[in-house]
Amino acid sequence: MSNLFSSAHDTIKQLTSKEIKASDLMKSTIAQIWEVNDQVNAIVSLREEQDLLSDAEAADQVPMDRRGPLHGLPIAIKDLADAKGLHTSQGSPIFAGQIAQSDALPVARIRAAGAIIIGKTNTPEFGLGSHTFNPVFGTTCNPYDPSRSAGGSSGGAAVALATGMISIADGSDMMGSLRNPAAWNNVYGMRPSWGLVPGEPKEDVFLHSLSTSGPMARNPKDLALLLSVMSGADPRLPFSMSNEGLLPVEPANLSGKRIGWLNDWGGNLEIEPSLLSDTLSAVQTFSNMGASVDILPAPFSSAALWESWKTLRSWSLAASYISYFETPHLYDLLKPAVLWEIENGLALSGLDIHNASCLRSDWYAQAARLFEEFDVLVLPSTQIWPFPAEQVHPTHINDVELDTYHRWMEVVIPASLIGLPVVNVPAGFGDAGLPFGLQLIGAKGQDAALLSIAQAWHEAKDWPNVRPPQL
């Protein structure tokens, strides 16, 4: 039987050499799902076992010269993205039971690469809130402490990876959704440069540039493998980018590299003291690897970043969900966070949006100057440790009351706001045995270089294999 904690790279090598069969891998995958999924609720809308085995057996018959880079590899798709023939609920009762008639663009690329789609991974309603629970499928639990949140919105994907149910996973990230759950589940998650993984060529394709799809895995080489499949220019999308140069990934030589440690943004971000202390200790690993680490003051006003982010996010989400808001019987099915975003978005003027985008532009220019001096900027991936799973969202950090449902994730917006590539790398465990991570942030378009640095980190500190969850 297959080792489900092997890397995707190693598993594909075994499939190619016929050391294992796709049908055997699928049997092992199904057995692992039956063993652990009831404890964590990560995979939802699982396909029928016989259908999965039939697909795997058919994959075994495909000649080698017709196999794609993910041939025979099981994957579950985040439940925000359409996968043909599967339920796509988006965690909302509005869409419960809805069957997708086609694949979303990144999903189509994953399927064409030979992966076998086994089901979906759980997400919060419409992906909002960074805590994976919804009225359709319930709560996804942290495998390191099932009483705690798994993060979100790619919480189901991160937990499925951490527990060996899949070896690669797709996700999406507006406000840390590929980073927060990766940090809390001891895996890697990458938000690529905006435009590298194109979105759907429908409705507006110019204005709303805050969210992107991206990969998750248990090592950076597997991140790059999935990213190479999901990414690449699409002529229908004006800002899509070429994906040349992503593969192969070799660990960077960090000797002489300069790391800019942004800490708590000059004291402007509330972060739990033990988490901040642990992240600072983890950052010193870069020094041990030959890099220089400089502690930086706040490079830009945190208040300006927050104002820009809050404005542009509410504007984008209001545009996406206004039709549900204006339909009485659907309005009643929307959770408070969605209603709050729409109401704020509707209250904005054109000048409000323009001014927010000007702030974003100023920050992009300042970040570009930082990357003239530093190879990577580093921040904690989260501001708190995983909180109780029954809690809707944190209301305080360090006795400071939070003014919105998402303020506790403010640490992720510097990269999100201006579309920079960023990788969460697992960074260790706190006193309570809960994992945490670091955001490695690169310059726009430097995804391959960032993955090489992340791979060097992984080879020095392979936390996913050193300390997998024990359910």
Reduced DSSP (H G I as helix, E B as strand, rest coil) percent helix, strand, coil of the chain, to 5: 40, 15, 45
Are the CB atoms for 424 and 415 separated by under 8 Å?
A: no
Helix axes 273-288, 447-460, angle to 10 degrees: 90
Residue 412 C-alpha from the chain's centroid: 12
A 10 A CB-CB count for 59 gives 21
String of b and e for 261-294 (b: at least 16 CB within 10 Å)? bbbbbeeebbbbeebbebbeebbebbeebebebe
Could you say which of 78, 120, 221, 257 is catalytic?
78
Are the CB atoms for 392 and 443 separated by under 8 Å?
A: no
Are the CB atoms for 152 and 406 separated by under 8 Å?
A: no
Residue 104 tokens read as: 């979303």
User: How many residues does the structure list for the chain?
Assistant: 471
Collapsing DSSP to helix, strand or coil, 191 comes out as: strand
Are the CB atoms for 88 and 27 separated by under 8 Å?
A: no
Distances (CA, A) of 176 to 37, 151, 152, 191, 466: 24, 9, 8, 8, 25
Could you say which of 45, 149, 167, 177 is catalytic?
177
Q: Is 177 annotated as catalytic?
A: yes
Residue 260 C-alpha from the chain's centroid: 23
d(CA 11, CA 4): 9
d(CA 67, CA 16): 9
Are the CB atoms for 249 and 456 separated by under 8 Å?
A: no
Partners of 424 in beta bridges:
189, 439
Cβ neighbours of residue 15 closer than 8 Å, sequence gap 6 or more: 21, 22, 25, 71, 72, 73
Active site residues: 78, 153, 177
